[in-house]
Amino acid sequence: MSLNRSFSWQYLKRLGIALLLVLWFTFLSLPCALFALARDGQIVFSRSRIPGDVLLRIQLLSDADYTGLSITTSQVSRNEDASRACVWSRIRYLFWRGAAVEPAQFCECYRKDEGSGIWLSADEQAPTACRFAS
């Protein structure tokens, strides 16, 4: 019985140390991320080749009236043959100077060009396509 308890304690101890190491390296990489944000104006983690389909976008906002960050996430809805896709984007704002702004949400639709495989804007069908995507 005591052997089993010591084994579980060692396992939890190692798991805790691994978690602390992950948190520590995340903390150490924070200055690099802030430098990249200041240099490029945004940090983008894309999910696919569809324009606007981002897992996470952090963008630096700097204007005469406000300064802060915008955080964008998106979700993709495709039709059955995957030739059309609509991207729902949600933007949240964090301002440290300026008036607070409500979160925004919008939809953009795209169609895939069969010849080149490039996603092109399909704005003419956006109102009906965004309804099927919601």
With bands split at pLDDT 50, 70 and 90, how would you rate the model's confidence at 125? low
52 and 114, same domain (yes or no): yes
73 and 55, same domain (yes or no): yes
49 and 77, same domain (yes or no): yes
67 and 46, same domain (yes or no): yes
Cβ-in-10-Å burial (0-12, 13-18, 19+) of 61 comes to middle
The total number of structural domains that make up the chain:
2
Which helix (DSSP H) or strand (DSSP E) does residue 29 occupy? helix 2-40
19 and 74, same domain (yes or no): no
14 and 49, same domain (yes or no): no
pLDDT at 34 over 60: yes
pLDDT at 25 over 70: yes
Residues 34-48 have a mean pLDDT of: 91
Q: Write out the residue range of the structural domain in which residue 17 sits.
A: 1-32
d(CA 70, CA 52): 14
**Per-residue pLDDT tens for 48-99?**
888 888 889 999 988 888 889 999 999 888 776 777 888 889 999 988 888 7
